[in-house]
């Protein structure tokens, strides 16, 4: 993911708003999301991506570029065009991979912070909502729709839901 303006995503009120802005400016995202195999392609790439694969010796610029690439991948996985194309096996893979990435990022909280943890759970959360697998008593619609502003309690709840669904 080498799109030069990825940082603009973070200049908006939510990840989805930032991605929507970029999508209006660059039609390559629409072409990518229109692929019939997009769910499989992105999921395969996501499984090969290790959030802890950066080096502490890298410059801040290199670390941010690496994390921005992962952020873009997680945002793409969270788009309706991708989620709607996932079969049952891909859904299970996404749930498992989201759990693994969350734990990896949590072990590097000083680098990823709560924002990085939110990103990782966003696609799985949107998919759980679409499949009516979430407890409707919890109001996390703002997070589901925008990919931002989940509390620590919300993230704990979502991790527990993912663990339950991944068994």
pTM of the model: 0.87
d(CA 100, CA 98): 5
Predicted local confidence at residue 80, as pLDDT: 92
Longest dimension (CA), the chain: 45
Confidence bin at 2 (pLDDT 50/70/90):
low
Confidence bin at 67 (pLDDT 50/70/90):
confident
* Tokens standing for residue 69: 């690439």
Q: Are 122 and 15 in contact (CB under 8 A)?
A: yes
Average pLDDT, the chain: 85
| Predicted confidence (pLDDT) per residue in 86-101, tens digit | 999 999 999 999 999 9
Predicted local confidence at residue 83, as pLDDT: 94
Q: Are 14 and 146 in contact (CB under 8 A)?
A: yes
Percentage of residues of the chain with pLDDT beyond 90: 35
**Could you say which DSSP state residue 10 is in?**
G
Position with higher pLDDT, 158 vs 4? 158
d(CA 96, CA 69): 20
CA-closest candidate to residue 38, choices 109, 90, 110, 104: 90
């Amino acid at each position: 993911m080498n799109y030069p303006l990825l940082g603009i995503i973070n200049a908006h009120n939510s990840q989805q708003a930032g991605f929507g802005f970029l999508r209006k400016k660059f039609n390559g995202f629409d072409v990518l999301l229109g692929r019939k195999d997009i769910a499989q392609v992105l999921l395969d790439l996501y499984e090969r991506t290790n959030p802890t694969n950066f080096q502490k010796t890298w410059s801040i610029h290199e670390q941010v570029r690496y994390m921005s690439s992962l952020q873009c991948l997680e945002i793409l996985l969270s788009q309706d065009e991708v989620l709607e194309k996932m079969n049952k096996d891909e859904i299970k893979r996404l749930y498992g991979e989201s759990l693994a990435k969350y734990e990896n990022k949590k072990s590097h909280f000083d680098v990823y912070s709560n924002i990085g943890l939110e990103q990782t759970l966003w696609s799985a959360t949107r998919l759980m909502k679409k499949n009516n697998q979430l407890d409707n008593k919890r109001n996390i619609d703002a997070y589901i729709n925008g990919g931002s502003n989940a509390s620590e309690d919300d993230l704990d709840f979502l991790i527990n839901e993912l663990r339950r669904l991944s068994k």
